[in-house]
Structure 1
Amino acid sequence: MGFYWPDIHSDAMELTRKCVECQTFSPTQNLPATTLTSIASPWPFFQWGIDIVGPFPEAPGRVKFLIERQIRQQFTSVAHLQANGQTEVTNRTMVNGIKKRLGKAKGNWVEELPSVLWSYRVTPRTSTQETPFSLVYGSEAMLPPELSITSLRVSAFSTEKTEEDLRHNLDLLEERRELASVRQARYKSNTERYYNRRVKGRTFKVGDLVLRKNEVSHAQPRGKLGPTWEGPYKVVEAHRNGAYALETMDDNPIPRTWNIQHLKSFHF
């Protein structure tokens, strides 16, 4: 067109990079920002992971949530599934099981919970190739069908022989747990290797400006045309494993720590 602008491409990229609307409405990033850290337990029941599941439709007794009690709490980053991944996976299995047993009806989910828990405890896990029940008690549970369609364990039952077998299984329990631990370590190593191949690493420093994913904070109604990100915020603390404490531009602290997966750099 007769104009000469030698840096037009770099200038256009810089303008777009600093555009507030472009940054606020940009799509979310699905690639992980930090490597996967596996959690190993030195012995069974050394560490327990819990999470609140719910709210469910209100059941008799005004029950809405699932949780264990009398637990010393150590909180993970908000909406950071990886920080408590084993618990999150278990919870998802529980919820899916309750949904399937209820079907389309919204009945009393509390009554279905024991059956769902039973199913989980007697199903072999991919990582250990053992059932949770057997790793706790040293023997496989007696399944209800074994009572109606007589199995060998039922037909050959004898109190004296059964007690002897149970004691023998308990003697071998430690070896069984060690083999399961080896399988689990191998499974975690493969999972970690696959996950880390997809990592697109990034970090923030104290003083950096960031945007926070809107669907995590629920700060603004999203809707079809709502913003994907909101902010900017200042990073005031950088914790390990990609967790950050934020404050507003007016120096007001934001509750909780936020995972890097839900943050991105803000340019101005």
Structure 2
Amino acid sequence: MMCGVTQEWHCKETLSNGVRDFRVKTETSSSPQQRQPAFSYNRTHSLLMGREVKITVVGDSEVGKTCLCISYATNSFPTEYVPTVFDNYNTKAVIEGNPMDILIFDTAGDAEYDSIRSLNYSGTDVFLICFSVLSTQSAEGVIKKWAEEVRGKCPDANIILIGTKCDMRSDATAVTDSTTVSALKNTTGMEPISKEQGTQLAEVIGAQKFMECSALTGMGLSAIFEESIKLVLHPKLPPKPAPEKIKGCIVQ
């Protein structure tokens, strides 16, 4: 269900500044990470009109929220880290025969923006709450901060829990690149967060689904946004949070 926080128009007008320069720089980059789109649905920029869907991305700093947004919207991985305050990205898609205008709002995870971040939440159809599968701390933030913040402003919000950077996990079942599987492990010395733990965490916060992605390889990105739009096309009440399932989960 769409979030009904006030100040929508002020928010959209303010957040539109500065996005164009950053996107153009990304799209024109000769980055070796640039790749061709590989989507399961027909995505095109020739659509003239479509139903508007707003997706807001939240989570701790440096979990890969901005890379997720840019990689999906431009089909290229950004080569520079640019700390986000608030940015938005527009793209178009056809899902189940329905043309869609997708507005993606990227937010800052820093505590200094806590008082203004919720201005983005107005009119949001789906929230993507993100954590890195390499960071237990960012997963703890899902319960201790992000789910509470989103539910506090938008009690009936659609939420998909997103595990980012899954290409860097040593779990071979979650990664398709065999080189990545053997080359990288959690730099903190802790075990990466598994799919099972992510699914359990989604149940704890009452998210509709847990999904994983890699902004670097593009794995899982199209599926996340396709699923987000399907939640809008086929609305239903989100599941209730299940805090009793926190036992044995990442956060205890």
| Higher fraction of helix | 1
TM-score > 0.5 by shorter chain: no
| Higher fraction of strand | 2
Structure of higher CA gyration radius = 1
**TM-score scaled by structure 1?**
0.22
